[in-house]
Structure 1
Amino acid sequence: MAITSAGIGSGLDINSLVTQLVAAEAQAPTARLDRRQSDLQLRLSAYGQLKSSLSSLSSSLGNLKNFSTFRSYTATSSDSDVFTASSSGKVSKASYDVNVTALAKNHQLSTDPTLAGAQFTDVTDTLSTGTLTFKFGTTTYDSGTDVYTGFVQNPERAAATVTITDSSLEGVRNAINEADIGVTASLIFDGTNYRLSVSSDDTGADNSLEITVADDDGFTNDGSGLSLLSFNGTDNDLLQNEAGVNAGLTLNGIAITSSSNTVASAIDGVSLNLKTLGSASLNVDTDKTKVKTAITAFVASYNAFIGAVNQLTAYNPDTNTAGELNGDGVTRSITSNIQRLLSNPVGVLGSDFTILAEAGITTNPADGRLVINDTTLDKQLNDNFDKFITLFSAYGETTDIYTNFVSSTDDTTVGNYAVNITTLASRGDLVGSAAANLTITGGSNDVITLDIDGVSASVTLSAGTYTAAELVTELKTKINDNTDFSNAGISVDVTESAGVLSLVSRSYGSSSLVDITGGNGKTDLVGAAATSTAGVDVAGTIGGIAATGKGQLLTGTGVTSGLIVEITGATLGDRGSIDFKRGYAEQLGNYVDSLLASDGFFESSTSSLKGRLEDIADERTALADRLNLIETRLRSQFGALDALIAQLQNTSSFLQQQLSALPQIGGSNSR
Structure 2
Amino acid sequence: MPVLTSTGLGSGLDISGMVQSLVQVERQPVAFQQDRREAELQTKLSSYGTFKSALSSFRSSLAGLRQSSGFEALKATSSDESILTASAETNADPGEFSLEVKQLAASHSLASGGFADPGEGVGSGTLTIRFGTTDYDPVGDTYNGFTQNPDQGVLTLNLDASNNTLTGLRDAINEADAGVNASIVNDGTAYRLVLSSEKTGADNSIQIDVSDGDGNDTDAAGLSRLAFNAAATHMTQTRAAQDAIVGIDGLDVTSPSNTLDQTLKGITLNLEKANPGEHVQLSVQEDTSGIVDAVGGFVENFNKLMGSVKELTGYDPASQTGGALLGDAAIRTGVQQIRRVMGDVVSGLEDSSIRTLADLGIRTQVDGTLEFDQGKLESALKQDPKGVAAVFSVTGIPASERVQYLDSTEATESGEYGVEITQAATRGVLNGGAVSSLSVDANNDTFRVRVDGTLSGQIQLTQKTYASHDELATEIQARINGDSALRSSGGKVTVNYDSANNRFVIESQSHGSDSQVEITEVDTNTTASLGLGVAVGTAGQDVAGTIGGNTADGEGRFLTAAQGDAEGMKLFIEGGASGSLGSVAFSRGLMEKLDSVLGGLLESDGTISARMEGLQKGIDQIGEERVKLNERMANLEQRLLDQFNAMDLILGRLQTTGDFLGQQLATLPFNNLSSNSK
TM range (shorter): 0.7 to 0.9
Where does residue 209 of structure 1 map in the other structure? 206
Q: Secondary structure at the match of 1:294?
A: helix
Gaps of 5+ in 2: 465-471
Is 2:496 aligned against 1:502?
no
Where does residue 132 of structure 2 map in the other structure? 137
Residue 134 (structure 1) shift: 1.6
Determine if contact 1:539/1:554 at 8 Å carries over to the other structure.
no
Distance 1:238 1:550 in 2: 49
Q: Secondary structure at the match of 1:332?
A: helix
Where does residue 597 of structure 1 map in the other structure? 603
Where does residue 527 of structure 1 map in the other structure? 533
Q: Secondary structure at the match of 2:634?
A: helix
Residue 362 (structure 1) shift: 3.5
Where does residue 150 of structure 2 map in the other structure? 155
Note closer, same or farther for the CA distance 1:121–1:611 as it changes in structure 2 (3 Å cut).
closer
**Deviations 1:562-596, CA, capped at 9 Å, x for gaps:** 33333335454433222223333233222212322
Is 2:483 aligned against 1:478?
yes
**Deviations 1:158-207, CA, capped at 9 Å, x for gaps:** 22245486888777667656665424455474x98877654433221101
Is 2:22 aligned against 1:25?
no
Distance 1:178 1:318 in 2: 83
Where does residue 114 of structure 1 map in the other structure? none
Is 2:57 aligned against 1:59?
no
Note closer, same or farther for the CA distance 1:447–1:395 as it changes in structure 2 (3 Å cut).
closer
Determine if contact 2:292/2:374 at 8 Å carries over to the other structure.
no
Q: What letter corresponds to residue 506 of structure 2 in structure 1?
A: S
Residue 155 (structure 1) shift: 0.8
TM-score by length of 1: 0.85
Task: Give the counterpart of 2:545 among 539, 546, 570.
Answer: 539
Identity, in percent, stands at 33
Residue 43 (structure 1) shift: 1.9
Matches within 5 A, 1:33-112: 33-88=34-89, 90-110=91-111
Distance 2:30 2:442 in 1: 98
Determine if contact 1:184/1:201 at 8 Å carries over to the other structure.
no
Q: Secondary structure at the match of 2:151?
A: coil
Note closer, same or farther for the CA distance 1:297–1:279 as it changes in structure 2 (3 Å cut).
same
Matches within 5 A, 1:402-417: 402-417=402-417
Q: Secondary structure at the match of 1:559?
A: coil
Determine if contact 1:459/1:482 at 8 Å carries over to the other structure.
no
Residue 93 (structure 1) shift: 3.6
Where does residue 266 of structure 2 map in the other structure? 269
Distance 2:661 2:166 in 1: 133
Determine if contact 2:208/2:226 at 8 Å carries over to the other structure.
yes
Q: Secondary structure at the match of 2:645?
A: helix
Is 2:662 aligned against 1:635?
no
Determine if contact 2:405/2:570 at 8 Å carries over to the other structure.
yes
Is 2:516 aligned against 1:514?
yes
Where does residue 328 of structure 1 map in the other structure? 328
Residue 475 (structure 1) shift: 0.7
Determine if contact 1:433/1:529 at 8 Å carries over to the other structure.
no
Where does residue 570 of structure 2 map in the other structure? 564
**Deviations 1:603-640, CA, capped at 9 Å, x for gaps:** 32222222222322232233233223322332232233
Q: Secondary structure at the match of 2:476?
A: helix
Where does residue 234 of structure 1 map in the other structure? 231
Distance 2:309 2:436 in 1: 76
**Deviations 1:35-79, CA, capped at 9 Å, x for gaps:** 222222222222222222222222221121111222433222344
Q: Secondary structure at the match of 2:482?
A: helix
Note closer, same or farther for the CA distance 1:352–1:78 as it changes in structure 2 (3 Å cut).
farther
Matches within 5 A, 1:277-316: 277=276, 278-316=278-316
Over the residues paired in the alignment, what is the CA RMSD in angstroms?
A: 3.7
Task: Give the counterpart of 1:468 among 466, 473, 476.
Answer: 473
Determine if contact 2:120/2:166 at 8 Å carries over to the other structure.
yes
Q: Secondary structure at the match of 1:203?
A: coil
Q: Secondary structure at the match of 2:457?
A: strand
Distance 2:579 2:431 in 1: 29
Residue 669 (structure 1) shift: 6.0
Q: What letter corresponds to residue 258 of structure 2 in structure 1?
A: N
Note closer, same or farther for the CA distance 1:465–1:30 as it changes in structure 2 (3 Å cut).
farther
Determine if contact 2:433/2:503 at 8 Å carries over to the other structure.
no
TM-score by length of 2: 0.84
Where does residue 122 of structure 2 map in the other structure? 128
Note closer, same or farther for the CA distance 1:456–1:632 as it changes in structure 2 (3 Å cut).
farther
Distance 2:519 2:211 in 1: 35
Distance 1:206 1:493 in 2: 19
Distance 1:520 1:634 in 2: 109
Residue 297 (structure 1) shift: 2.7
Residue 426 (structure 1) shift: 3.8
**Deviations 1:538-576, CA, capped at 9 Å, x for gaps:** 23131x344444442222533333333333354544332
Is 2:8 aligned against 1:13?
no
Q: What letter corresponds to residue 69 of structure 2 in structure 1?
A: S
Note closer, same or farther for the CA distance 1:91–1:447 as it changes in structure 2 (3 Å cut).
same
**Deviations 1:200-222, CA, capped at 9 Å, x for gaps:** 33221101111123444443322
Distance 1:388 1:599 in 2: 33
How many residues are aligned here? 651
